[in-house]
Amino acid sequence: MTVTHLLIDIEGVLVRDKSYQPVPGAVSWLNGLSAQGLGWCLVSNNTTHHPAALVASLRDVGFQVDDEQLEGALTTGCDWLRSRGHRTLGWLGAASLAPWLGEQGFELASPGAPSCQAVVLGVNAHLKVADLDAGAAWLEAGADLLCLHRNRIWLDARGQVRLGKETALRRGTRGGGPSNAISCRRR
């Protein structure tokens, strides 16, 4: 079997963590793949930066990458939400992504809103119990659950270990979580 294309993770493979400092040798390795005739696509479950910002961060440290060479949890999640007609979201991720989600055609429900169509979990180091309570209420009202970042732990830009949202949601809901929980995986 001949390998013609590679799927390559970003954080923990090409860069150490959210500081986006390259792993030694990664820039020359990735930039040399095309010269060797190998196709490649970057994949990322990053939910703290919109896709164009990820690509720009990679370019800033020397990686030769285009927007089309990134497939991420955010874009895949947005595709999934659109395919189900969801427009109103309970976003429990990084607040800095709210404008980007708006540009993608989504409305974000305020924490006091009685309902939304989908609760979407992303990394958020500032998530509060009240946010989880709002998410649980939306789920009880019938919203779908989309976990974009299911890591139990993750490293922030300072290298600190943080709890992932799946862990937080399980701790924030009683009885093991909602029965209508789903997770998005592109095939």
Residue 135 has pLDDT above 60, yes or no: yes
> What is the predicted pLDDT for the residue at 174?
38
pTM of the model: 0.76
Domain with CATH 3.40.50.1000 in the chain: 5-72, 74-182
> What is the predicted pLDDT for the residue at 153?
57
Q: At what angle do helices 129-140 and 165-172 cross, to 10 degrees?
A: 70
> What is the predicted pLDDT for the residue at 8?
96
Q: Indicate the Cα dihedral angle 91, 130, 128, 93, nearest 10°.
A: 0
Contacts of residue 59, defined as CB under 8 A and 6 or more positions apart, other chains included, come to: 65
Segment among 26-35, 75-84, 91-100, 152-161 with least mean pLDDT: 152-161
**CA gap 45, 144 in Å, rounded:** 19
Residue 160 has pLDDT above 70, yes or no: no
Please, what CATH class does the domain formed by 5-72 belong to?
alpha beta
**CA gap 175, 16 in Å, rounded:** 36
Residue 158 has pLDDT above 90, yes or no: no
- Give me the CATH code for the 74-182 domain, please: 3.40.50.1000
Question: Please, are residues 14 and 63 in contact by the beta-carbon 8 Å criterion?
Answer: yes
> What is the predicted pLDDT for the residue at 181?
39
Higher pLDDT, 124 or 85: 85
Residue 129 has pLDDT above 50, yes or no: yes
**CA gap 79, 11 in Å, rounded:** 22
**CA gap 92, 14 in Å, rounded:** 27
Residue 26 has pLDDT above 70, yes or no: yes
> How far is CA 23 from each of CA 19, 129, 138, rounded to the nearest angstrom?
11, 35, 41
Contacts of residue 135, defined as CB under 8 A and 6 or more positions apart, other chains included, come to: 90, 92, 119, 121, 169, 172
